[in-house]
Structure 1
Amino acid sequence: MPGSDPLRTVLFDLDGTLADTAPDMYAALAALQREQGVPMLPFEAVRNQVSHGGAALVRLAFPDAEGDRFETLRQRFLTLYAEHYLCRDTGLFPGMETLLDTIERLGMNWGIVTNKPAWLTDPLVRAMDLHQRAVTVISGDTTPQRKPHPMPMLLACEQAACQPAECLYVGDAERDIQAGRATGTHTLVALYGYIDDPQAPATWGADGAIDHPEQILPWLPAESRVGITLR
């Protein structure tokens, strides 16, 4: 739990933490496989790779692709995703909307720090009607360094007008926890996110882990929890 500094800001990773983007990422990958005449992978084989980004998904679907062919496939995947699948079935994880409402009602703020590039992040955030609610949206190319470097987190804290010790960062990848720890924020692992079997979240050094977004509630100021139930 946070120490003497009360929380003022909650920051979220995007894919696999704030929003369930896996159905649309999978749809774009499946479309690419159809174009290439390659058998489609099952959704279960793809979901927990989404947080690793588009390149990881293309490698998963086309393990023999290298060099120029790999780059062509990667670019085509991103084009399909951006133009046809960006926000078809993507939505906030269950319980997240109520959590965001609670944060806002308490006079706290929240934002997004993702490694997704801005040309994908910004239209997705707008399509989800979150662009006027998030106090900060930091993408993978907003700063010269990406997570796990602390630079994106430091900028997010600055834009949210909070000190790192007043911030809680929630993510589903080890780089999220590394970035938060390097910045000095509190950190939580979103176990409901895209975490594959070889990963070991218990070893990442986070301050805690949650199975559902509503489990963030006890981390908010004590007075905020009176009379609040998240479903």
Structure 2
Amino acid sequence: MIDPRLAQAVLFDLDGTLADSAPDLVAALATLCKEIGHAAPDPQVVSRVVSAGGRAILRSGLPGFDEPRIEELLSRYLDLYARRGNAATALYAGIEPVLAGLEARGIAWGVVTNKVGWLAAPMLDHLGLGTRCAALVAGDTLARRKPDPDPVLHACAMLKVDPARTLFVGDDLRDIEAGRAAGTATVAAAWGYLNGGDPHAWGADRVAASVPALHAWLLPD
């Protein structure tokens, strides 16, 4: 684990790490369920799998639907989600000071997400981060996505930083696996959605229980 004071860059997952997007994702699913005559989803159940992506959200909200039907509904679900325009999505409390602190110290930061670019970029813009994010690697930027290390390595190349001096912060096991395989230090964001998992069991170099805890460790006085 590198000393955070020696880090050249910090990479973040997006949904469940930087921002709480579950309200919009669940609302879009509720609209889809209404369209197809299905019972409304349980928001708490669906929220737990938000970091796992659209298919996982549909499987959670539409139990018993087979995979061909999930694939059939995915594009409509993503369209409904995009139409909401991130209306209820917001940064987690305390994230803004973390990003501002990195910027003040000249530490580059970027986003590595499995969310497709045509959804991820508008979300960053909505959050006021579009021009501040030094590297965005989305789920369709490369042929492979997390947990493959390629997106993390690509972000490091974009930032011209050494993976060994980079931190990757995420709220899903795939984030930790991708960062570890890429050679970065990894931090599990225990405030996120977690996909029902235990972040202490993921093998991350560090588990941050909260955004303030991450801030205190990452940006010591």
- Please give the alpha-carbon distance, in whole angstroms, between the structure 1 residues aligned to 2:69 and 2:6: 51
Q: What aligned pairs does 1:99-114 form with structure 2 within 5 A after superposition?
A: 99-114=98-113
SS at match of 2:11: strand
Distance 1:4 1:93, change over 3 A: closer
Q: What aligned pairs does 1:125-140 form with structure 2 within 5 A after superposition?
A: 125-140=124-139
- Please give the alpha-carbon distance, in whole angstroms, between the structure 2 residues aligned to 1:130 and 1:148: 24
Q: What aligned pairs does 1:57-206 form with structure 2 within 5 A after superposition?
A: 57-66=57-66, 68-83=68-83, 85-197=84-196, 199-206=197-204
- Displacement of 1:73 in angstroms is 1.6
SS at match of 1:145: coil
- Please give the alpha-carbon distance, in whole angstroms, between the structure 2 residues aligned to 1:142 and 1:67: 24
TM-score, with structure 1 as normaliser: 0.90
2:206 is aligned, of 194, 203, 208, to 208
Question: Please, which runs of 5 or more residues in structure 2 have no aligned partner?
Answer: none
Deviation string 1:87-146 (CA, Å, 9 cap, x unpaired) is 101011110011111111111111100011111111111222211101100001111111
Note if contact 1:115-1:146 (Cα within 8 Å) is conserved in structure 2.
Answer: yes
Deviation string 1:168-201 (CA, Å, 9 cap, x unpaired) is 100011110001001111111111101244x232
Distance 1:187 1:4, change over 3 A: closer
SS at match of 1:209: strand
- Please give the alpha-carbon distance, in whole angstroms, between the structure 2 residues aligned to 1:149 and 1:201: 19
Residue 17 of structure 1 corresponds to 17
Question: Please, which runs of 5 or more residues in structure 1 have no aligned partner?
Answer: 227-231
- Displacement of 1:69 in angstroms is 3.1
- Displacement of 1:66 in angstroms is 2.7
- Displacement of 1:67 in angstroms is 5.2
Residues 1:7 and 2:2 aligned together: no
Q: Output the amino acid matched with 1:158.
A: A
- Structure 1's consecutive aligned runs of 4 or more residues displaced over 3 angstroms after TM superposition are none
- Displacement of 1:57 in angstroms is 1.2
- Please give the alpha-carbon distance, in whole angstroms, between the structure 1 residues aligned to 2:57 and 2:85: 15
Distance 1:86 1:215, change over 3 A: same
Residue 229 of structure 1 corresponds to none
Distance 1:204 1:68, change over 3 A: closer
Note if contact 1:51-1:173 (Cα within 8 Å) is conserved in structure 2.
Answer: yes
SS at match of 1:65: coil
User: How many residues end up aligned between the 2 structures?
Assistant: 221
Larger Rg computed on CA atoms: 1
Distance 1:225 1:219, change over 3 A: closer
Q: CA RMSD in A?
A: 1.7
Q: Output the amino acid matched with 2:220.
A: R
TM-score, with structure 2 as normaliser: 0.94
